[in-house]
Amino acid sequence: MEINKRPTRLGRPPKHEDRNTRERILDAAIELFARQGIAGTSLRQIAQAVGIKESAIYAHFEGKEALCPAIFARFGPPAAVVDELLASDSSTIARSRPEVVLRDMAQRVIARWNEPQARLFLSLLLREGMGGSEALMRPAKQLVLDLLTPIVRQWMEQGLIRKDFPPELLIWEFLAPLTLIRISYWHAQATEEEVELGYRLAERHIDYFLRIALIDKTSNV
Amino acid sequence: MEINKRPTRLGRPPKHEDRNTRERILDAAIELFARQGIAGTSLRQIAQAVGIKESAIYAHFEGKEALCPAIFARFGPPAAVVDELLASDSSTIARSRPEVVLRDMAQRVIARWNEPQARLFLSLLLREGMGGSEALMRPAKQLVLDLLTPIVRQWMEQGLIRKDFPPELLIWEFLAPLTLIRISYWHAQATEEEVELGYRLAERHIDYFLRIALIDKTSNV
Amino acid sequence: MEINKRPTRLGRPPKHEDRNTRERILDAAIELFARQGIAGTSLRQIAQAVGIKESAIYAHFEGKEALCPAIFARFGPPAAVVDELLASDSSTIARSRPEVVLRDMAQRVIARWNEPQARLFLSLLLREGMGGSEALMRPAKQLVLDLLTPIVRQWMEQGLIRKDFPPELLIWEFLAPLTLIRISYWHAQATEEEVELGYRLAERHIDYFLRIALIDKTSNV
Amino acid sequence: MEINKRPTRLGRPPKHEDRNTRERILDAAIELFARQGIAGTSLRQIAQAVGIKESAIYAHFEGKEALCPAIFARFGPPAAVVDELLASDSSTIARSRPEVVLRDMAQRVIARWNEPQARLFLSLLLREGMGGSEALMRPAKQLVLDLLTPIVRQWMEQGLIRKDFPPELLIWEFLAPLTLIRISYWHAQATEEEVELGYRLAERHIDYFLRIALIDKTSNV
DNA sequence: TATGAATGAGCCTTCATTCAT
DNA sequence: GATGAATGAAGGCTCATTCAT
């Protein structure tokens, strides 16, 4: 027999604050997963960061494994580039000068990449390799194929951009260095100086790219 | 898995599998660390891959923590670029045409990057972030500053390469996309197709860069 | 395990599934306790079988411990033999021939033992040993002492039953094999074939016993 | 706990009472499993009974589930009856008087059933229903069919035992009540008085059976 | 009456590590 | 050098229980 009889007072304590425990768990989880890896993070740590007991996590998630899909659903995928572009007015873009559009777009994308959650998600991806780099490149490919290509082609026809490379290649050469900078300097553990260095490198790359790609009408004969 | 896979040398007396247990432990360790992370890999797994018991590892290493420095000492740092260049005859380089030198250098660096151990080491770096990207970029910086810069400057003075960008920038724009390709397609778990795609992208980038950077004497009027 | 499975009564307004949640909890509990043991059954399983949440059980019972007494009160004790005999008309019994009475009694007792709930209760008793066999034998003892003994004694005086054994012993020798059959073949997890085999063995035993105990007047000289 | 209690083997030096941790684990396991059920027993308890830590158990067994097969292999199946009979000289049996043989056999079987390990194993079987009663009856069936039947038949031909029942039935009627006594009074938790009561009931049954089955030559004529 | 969220205890298991052999 | 047995710590998860709603 001996059904567990306990004298101590168990169960839920009378009072507590709410504010969506589920999301607080995910916040703590992505932070710790990004910093220590999934295997290196215990539910105990996550619970402690949230201020609850581990067993309470099971009221919101099936288990440790179920946290990853939930993190993906909440913070990823990082389609920042695409989103940013979609947010812009497509007809306005085509009429603006390329250097304005590209600078503006890059600036906004970079701003997104540097949001805390985006940096955490990037680190998580790189660490756990959940098709990590695959996932990182997919948005860019989508962008090239579906969104930017026609615009760049239009610029080419307008004589604003050099025509001796296919639009896809130009876009890739514009984005790839920025992506490397992101990985190298804008991950979750990056120091202040690294972030700053990244900004400078990005700016330098954009300047370089524009001088390469643009056909400067004013200076031309 | 197949940690022990090596070019099955037929007609050779076996039992020389001993080949220094210490090294076999490190081989198994880097493989598993790269695939599963350090925290996600147990000494039991490593021992099993080697074919010994966990406690035997302690005859060769202080403990789990001592494996990482040993792995670094054995497989890294991946100064592939620098090594490759150092391996070349410096005086010959300056006299060769840039497209030949750069193509040749890139080809050899890429070959190194695709050696199994280099791929494993890259994955380990990315996963554990041991100053991961830092470590990945350091060789390039070293290269730029100490080795390639004077050569490129010489090419500029010879009128072989455009002079409107500083040598460091040009070199960075040459290497950064290759590094991104490495991270994206040449990590340890990359599929055959990913590796192949990486090769194509790298080739395309090199072509692109040479057309950008070179001053084509033949076509010039 | 589909404890709630019942012949889906088509064309009947549902929501009468309520049928006293308390009883449905007990139904599920005895089923699971018999199958898995008390310690091996969680309140969650019981609640799931009933279609409620675990915490709802506490609206009906003090806790897990309180389920056992409630199960006893509802399904046990299995005083089947006594009940059956009490249900018969005592004066009629004495006037009937022993073979008729005993066969009839055995048949009715066996029928009771094979009711689903009786089988579940038996399995629970055996599992948890709540004075298991004690409890199983007590009704028989009661029966012997209080009810059957005088009847058998009367039969002895009438020359219907052999007198060379005390009535208590005869009754015990009649019931013990049946009880063993019950335990072996009529527990909750018994297969169809086991149940059938039990029936055959029981019948064989009854025949055997009657030939042993009866004094056959017709064949006698 | 008295886990180590066994019939002190006289005349043999104890050597080292260390006696293989593996076996001490099994001893503790069967004891606790029989008393509390498998689900109701924690590895902690077993380890504590042995005097080691729970994790040490995993050096000897795969896990909790692996203990049951090991217990079966060590303590079961309880083919006590068959073993006892096989231990006797078959030719001697046939020449002995039935009452001597049967009394002797029953006495030895009962002695076996009352060995501590046999009582523990019985309780475990009943509790966990591992084909519990099935397993309990199988030896008897085997006995009837293969060993005892020919002997009984021989006794019948010698006119020592009544011929109006098939040998199998007689044997079953001899063994079944003993088996019920075993289950009821000789399980692991039985009190001293219960055990004693069982002995008396068994003796009474044997006397009864012999008076039923034997053809008394002396009183005849 | 029933649910959802929470708790503290405990369970099974794995881990890194030690040590005698 | 290598193994088997052991340990203490920790990890993921379940459980009975509580309480506000």
**A15-67 and A76-213 agree in CATH topology:** no
CB of C138 within 8 Å of a chain D CB? The answer is no
Q: What are phi and psi of C21, to 5 degrees?
A: -50, -40
Average pLDDT of the segment spanning B34-50:
97
Average pLDDT of the segment spanning D176-195:
93
CB D140 within 8 A of CB D82: no
Residue of A nearest to B162 (CA): A212
CB of C138 within 8 Å of a chain A CB? The answer is no
Say how far apart CA D46 and CA D66 lie, in whole Å. 14
- A58, pLDDT greater than 70: yes
Q: What angle do CA D208, D210, D215 make, to 5 degrees?
A: 130
Q: Which residue is nearest to nucleotide F18 (CA to C1')?
A: A11
> What is the residue-averaged pLDDT of chain C?
84
pLDDT tens across A16-28, in order?
555 689 999 999 9
Residue of B nearest to A138 (CA): B184
CATH number of the structural domain D15-67: 1.10.10.60
Say which DSSP state B16 is in: G
> pLDDT tier at C6 (50, 70, 90 boundaries)?
very low
pLDDT at residue number B120: 94
pLDDT at residue number D142: 74
Comparing D93 with C57, the larger pLDDT belongs to C57
pLDDT at residue number D79: 63
- D3, pLDDT greater than 60: no
- C&D contacts, CB < 8 Å: 92
Residue D162: closest CA among D197, D209, D129: D209
pLDDT at residue number A209: 98
The distance (Å) linking the CA of B68 with the C1' of F2 is 23
D65 touches strand E (CB under 7 A): yes
The distance (Å) linking the CA of A60 with the C1' of E3 is 14
Residue of B nearest to A128 (CA): B127
Locate B88 and state its tokens: 């070349």
Average pLDDT of the segment spanning B55-82:
87
Average pLDDT of the segment spanning B16-27:
83
Say how far apart CA B65 and CA B16 lie, in whole Å. 28
pTM: 0.86
Say how far apart CA C211 and CA C62 lie, in whole Å. 53
Q: Do C38 and A3 touch (CB under 8 A)?
A: yes
Residue A138: closest CA among A86, A87, A175: A175
Q: Report DSSP letters for B190-211, one per residue.
A: --HHHHHHHHHHHHHHHHHHHH
CB of B164 within 8 Å of a chain A CB? The answer is yes
Q: Do D132 and C126 touch (CB under 8 A)?
A: yes
Lowest mean pLDDT among C74-83, D33-42, D176-185: C74-83
pLDDT at residue number B207: 97
Q: Which of B145-154, B190-199, C147-156, D1-10 has the highest mean predicted lDDT (pLDDT)?
A: B190-199
In this complex, the residue of C38, C65, C130 whose CB is nearest that of residue A5 is C65
The distance (Å) linking the CA of D44 with the C1' of E12 is 10
Q: Which residues of D touch C123 (CB under 8 A)?
A: 129
pLDDT at residue number B10: 40
Distance from CA of C2 to the nearest CA of D (A): 21
pLDDT at residue number D173: 96
> pLDDT tier at A219 (50, 70, 90 boundaries)?
low
Q: Which residues of A touch B191 (CB under 8 A)?
A: none
Comparing C61 with B82, the larger pLDDT belongs to C61
pLDDT at residue number D147: 80
Would you kindly state where each structural domain of chain A is located, as residue ranges?
15-67, 76-213
Say which DSSP state C16 is in: G
Q: What angle do CA C31, C34, C36 make, to 5 degrees?
A: 100
The distance (Å) linking the CA of B97 with the C1' of F8 is 66
Average pLDDT of the segment spanning C8-31:
71
Say how far apart CA C26 and CA B174 lie, in whole Å. 76
- CA dihedral (A20, A23, A25, A28) in degrees, to 10, reads -130
pLDDT at residue number A48: 96
> What is the residue-averaged pLDDT of chain B?
84
The distance (Å) linking the CA of A56 with the C1' of E8 is 11
- D140, pLDDT greater than 80: no
Say how far apart CA C25 and CA C42 lie, in whole Å. 12
- D2, pLDDT greater than 90: no
pLDDT at residue number D16: 39
Lowest mean pLDDT among B46-60, C162-176, C199-213, D85-99: D85-99
pLDDT at residue number C9: 38
pLDDT at residue number B11: 42
State which amino acid sits at residue D118: A
Average pLDDT of the segment spanning B177-192:
93
Q: What are phi and psi of B219, to 5 degrees?
A: -80, -15
Q: Do B183 and A128 touch (CB under 8 A)?
A: no
pLDDT at residue number A68: 93
> What is the residue-averaged pLDDT of chain A?
85
Say how far apart CA D132 and CA D127 lie, in whole Å. 8
The nucleotide whose C1' lies nearest the CA of B62 is E17
Is there contact between D and B if contact means ≥3 C-beta pairs under 8 Å? no
pLDDT tens across A107-153, in order?
988 998 999 999 999 999 989 976 656 666 776 677 667 788 888 99
- What do you get for the CA distance between the two ends of chain D, in Å? 59
Q: How far is CA D65 from the centre of its chain?
A: 24
Q: What angle do CA A47, A51, A54 make, to 5 degrees?
A: 30
- A14, pLDDT greater than 60: no
CATH architecture of the region D76-213: Orthogonal Bundle (1.10)
- A2, pLDDT greater than 50: no
Residue C122: closest CA among C50, C47, C190: C190
pLDDT at residue number A63: 96
The nucleotide whose C1' lies nearest the CA of D67 is E12
Say how far apart CA A85 and CA A169 lie, in whole Å. 18
Q: What are phi and psi of D218, to 5 degrees?
A: -65, -45
pLDDT tens across B122-154, in order?
999 989 976 656 666 676 677 667 788 888 999
Say how far apart CA A123 and CA A128 lie, in whole Å. 9
The distance (Å) linking the CA of C41 with the C1' of E14 is 26
Is there contact between B and C if contact means ≥3 C-beta pairs under 8 Å? no
Q: Which residues of D touch C32 (CB under 8 A)?
A: none
Say which DSSP state D131 is in: S
Average pLDDT of the segment spanning C10-24:
64
pLDDT at residue number D29: 97
Q: Do C38 and A1 touch (CB under 8 A)?
A: yes
Q: Residue C7 contacts by C-beta under 8 Å, 6 or more apart in sequence?
A: none
Average pLDDT of the segment spanning B181-206:
94
Is there contact between A and B if contact means ≥3 C-beta pairs under 8 Å? yes
B46 touches strand E (CB under 7 A): no
Comparing C14 with B184, the larger pLDDT belongs to B184
Distance from CA of A45 to the nearest CA of B (A): 15
Residue B162: closest CA among B88, B220, B100: B220
> pLDDT tier at A96 (50, 70, 90 boundaries)?
confident
Radius of gyration for the alpha carbons in chain A, expressed in angstroms and rounded = 23
The distance (Å) linking the CA of A87 with the C1' of E15 is 50
- C31, pLDDT greater than 90: yes
pLDDT at residue number C10: 39
Average pLDDT of the segment spanning A63-86:
80
> pLDDT tier at C5 (50, 70, 90 boundaries)?
very low
Residues 35-64 of C with CB under 8 A from D: 36-40
> pLDDT tier at D82 (50, 70, 90 boundaries)?
low
The nucleotide whose C1' lies nearest the CA of C52 is E2
Q: Do B137 and A165 touch (CB under 8 A)?
A: no
Comparing A147 with B74, the larger pLDDT belongs to B74
The nucleotide whose C1' lies nearest the CA of A53 is E7
Q: Which of A91-95, B26-30, C153-157, D106-110 has the highest mean predicted lDDT (pLDDT)?
A: B26-30
Q: Do C128 and A5 touch (CB under 8 A)?
A: no
CB of C204 within 8 Å of a chain D CB? The answer is yes
Distance from CA of C37 to the nearest CA of D (A): 8
The nucleotide whose C1' lies nearest the CA of B60 is F1
CB-based burial, C76-98: b 16+ in 10 Å, e otherwise: bebbbbbebbeeeeeeebeeeeb
Q: Report DSSP letters for D162-200, one per residue.
A: -SSS-HHHHHHHHHHHHHHHHHHHSSTT--HHHHHHHHH
Helix (H, G, I), strand (E, B) or coil at D158: coil
Q: Do B183 and A123 touch (CB under 8 A)?
A: no
Average pLDDT of the segment spanning C78-106:
76
The nucleotide whose C1' lies nearest the CA of A19 is E5
Comparing D57 with C87, the larger pLDDT belongs to D57
Average pLDDT of the segment spanning C72-99:
73
Q: Which residues of D touch C177 (CB under 8 A)?
A: 172-173, 176-177, 180
Locate A11 and state its tokens: 């169960």
CB C72 within 8 A of CB C120: no
A5 touches strand E (CB under 7 A): no
Q: Find and list the nucleotides of strand F having atoms within 7 Å of a protein beta carbon.
A: 1-20
Average pLDDT of the segment spanning C51-69:
96
Longest dimension (CA), chain C: 74
Lowest mean pLDDT among A109-113, C35-39, D163-167: A109-113
- C217, pLDDT greater than 90: no
pLDDT at residue number D138: 72
The distance (Å) linking the CA of B2 with the C1' of F8 is 34
Comparing D220 with D86, the larger pLDDT belongs to D86
> pLDDT tier at C96 (50, 70, 90 boundaries)?
confident
Locate A170 and state its tokens: 């130009």
Say how far apart CA D119 and CA D189 lie, in whole Å. 8
